[in-house]
Amino acid sequence: MDLARKTVNTIKGLSMDAVQKANSGHPGMPMGCADMAYVLWSRFLKHDPADPTWADRDRFILSAGHGSMLLYSLLHLWDYRDESGEAAVSLDDIKDFRQWGSKTPGHPEYGHTAGVETTTGPLGQGFAMGVGMALAERYLRNRFGADVCDHNVYAIVSDGDLMEGVAAEAASLAGTLKLGKIVYLYDDNSITIDGSTDLSFTEDRSARFESYGWHTQIVDGHDHAQIAAAIEAARAETDKPSLICCRTRIGDGSPNKEGKSASHGAPLGVDEIVLTKTRLGMDPEKSFDVPADVLAHVREVAAARTELREAWETNLSLHPKRGHWELWHADPDVDGVEWPEFEVGGKIATRKASHAALNAAALGVPQLLGGSADLAGSNGSMLKGVDGISGDDFSGRNLFFGVREHAMAAMCNGMVLHGGMRPYCATFLVFHDYMRPSVRLSALMNQPVVYVYTHDSIYLGEDGPTHQPVETLMAMRTVPNLVTIRPCDGKETVGAWKAALRRNDGPTALSLTRQGLPTLEGSSIEGVEKGAYVLAEATGDHAVTLLATGSEVELAMRSREALQADGIGTRVVSFPSWELFEAQDADYKASVMGTAPRVSIEAGRTFGWKQYAQVCVGHDDFGASAPASVLMEKFGFTVDNVVAQARSLL
């Protein structure tokens, strides 16, 4: 048996054994994809396992994340190392597959295991994030030159990936942008969990991607020569992303489960593993066997890989653009930005204030770029004085995502994971639901994407309940590590952008108004970064506190005037961010909240506000189509109603 076949069988054996020991997992995909993965990693992948974060490495994404044992086997065999120099995935880690605290969780997790480029498992996400990575590579190559940035984005994608809408969205845009550095190997095995793909997936996938503007090929996914030739051809096609349809057999090598859905999501079973190893020419008595000659084979070029990376580092150290490259890969200098100022009493929609803040930030944060899901004018997401990015010109900074919210968010994840980019993206708040899975992954992976959401309440008015996000803010607040900020005026909007760009351990969502809001006396940029602060103190005895966000802070201030006129001492707290407030110490939180009874005011669901207030002014049903002023009256966002609710506590 030659070493190539022996290595492929070793990958299959580790995958079978780990899933069997865990009594949980997906052996079929790693067994079916072992050939294509071996060819890619042994002949083409530009990487240095000694430094998995090398900036000019090729990116490899296992979009079919359920087959995680394939990736863990590769990381172990190729001797990937973490920051401390320890093995990223040891044989003991593989034996600990899917167990508490192990480096080998059920699906690959970014930041948890060295060598894992992105968290995958939700199908389609890895596909779309890879498009974002390729966009980042093309963008940086355009600015710094191919001697600094020149690498490919490879992925193994599955039937499930290609079925998901997020992949279709991203594939369409990848073709439009001519992202020729994408080379995706499609595990075309004709099997899903429910059975044959004939049940639900019958179109010509190659023709579909060709219509997107992709370069497509169809090969035998177990023939190393065909796979290698296809990858060579894909790499030679520089103006089109490439999809290589690899016809494979799920569970390849298993006498009784090969080509069947039975090998997809459950262990093969002890007896079947013995039969499989015997059929493959392996020792059926050995588990987790990694022959010494296999290790020597895959690691023989380790020194050459390290030399390639060191040569790149030497080149960068002497490069005239080194300083700019390092600036682009550093945290943004938020305090060095000349932020816009807003006069008290002036009126501006927070979406327009955001546009001013964004453009100011762009001057001081060169790695900031982004765009909108076909709503740039409405969202205020366009950078002034710079061009848009197109397939023929990557010199601009404005991205046109089209009506593709889900892929937009996923691509932003890919861009920030790639490095050298601080992306933002924008749409109406109600369409967050289209992007929720990708936003969730931003939070899970601790990636600082900025999500700009405008038209943030029922005050959108005549467009009606389909466009009025009554529940969306509260839904976002339930996502761990997602910071939501709803500023009340121009000054707080600047504070929101500062907080978002200062953050490097998770995403931030800005909730912005369509309607104009007055710049309030006492509103604070610094207060936003604390999540909540006292905007107006009670005059006289402190009898009641009004907590409000966004457009309702101005209503709280007018209600305070009425209450104070009646001798009721009223404090107003501007409360732009629950998450930032909860990060403050207990003394600060107590000083803001005080001991008086509290009323919350927010034009949306009241669910959740009971942790802060005894009475909640909000709207727990869908909106309606009518002018905003009518909706305010009908739904109780009036001074009279707020005063009445405050009085009910006294």
Tens-place pLDDT, residues 368-397: 999 999 999 999 999 999 999 999 999 999
Q: What is the CATH number of domain 3-306?
A: 3.40.50.970
What whole-number distance in Å separates Cα of residue 526 and Cα of residue 509? 18
User: What superfamily in CATH does domain 334-518 come from?
Assistant: Thiamin diphosphate (ThDP)-binding fold, Pyr/PP domains (3.40.50.970)
Where are the domains positioned within the chain? Answer: 3-306, 334-518, 529-647
Pairing of strands 153-158, 182-188: parallel
Whose structure tokens read 């880690």? 93
What whole-number distance in Å separates Cα of residue 183 and Cα of residue 153? 6
Whose structure tokens read 């069988």? 9
Token pair in block for residue 65: 């994340």
Of 276, 214, 217, the C-alpha closest to 249 is 276
Of 572, 576, 551, the C-alpha closest to 628 is 551
Q: How many CB atoms lie within 10 A of CB 595?
A: 8
Of 363, 381, 368, the C-alpha closest to 421 is 368
Q: Please compute the mean of the pLDDT values over residues 468-495 and round it to a whole number.
A: 98
What whole-number distance in Å separates Cα of residue 592 and Cα of residue 572? 10
Mean pLDDT of all residues in the chain? 97
E strand or H helix at 210? helix 205-211
Model pTM above 0.85:
yes
What whole-number distance in Å separates Cα of residue 522 and Cα of residue 192? 59
* pLDDT per residue as tens digits for the range 74-110: 999 999 999 999 999 999 999 999 999 999 999 999 9
Q: Cite the active site residues.
A: 405
Q: Given a cut of 90, is residue 211 above it in pLDDT?
A: yes
Q: What is the CATH number of domain 529-647?
A: 3.40.50.920
Pairing of strands 347-349, 516-518: antiparallel
The whole-number pLDDT of residue 1 equals: 79
Per CATH, 334-518 and 529-647 having the same topology is answered: yes
**Per-residue DSSP letter, 83:** T
From residue 421, give the alpha-carbon distance in Å to each of 137, 364, 406, 413. 10, 14, 19, 10
* pLDDT per residue as tens digits for the range 6-62: 999 999 999 999 999 999 999 999 999 999 999 999 999 999 999 999 999 999 999
What whole-number distance in Å separates Cα of residue 563 and Cα of residue 549? 19
What whole-number distance in Å separates Cα of residue 17 and Cα of residue 96? 11
Q: How many CA atoms lie within 13 A of 138 on its CB side?
A: 28
Of 523, 29, 7, the C-alpha closest to 261 is 29
Q: Please compute the mean of the pLDDT values over residues 202-218 and round it to a whole number.
A: 98
- For the chain, the distance separating the N- and C-terminal CA atoms, rounded to the nearest angstrom, is 86
Of 615, 547, 553, 549, the C-alpha closest to 577 is 549
Token pair in block for residue 117: 């480029």
Length of the chain: 650
The whole-number pLDDT of residue 48 equals: 98
3-state class (DSSP) for residue 588: helix
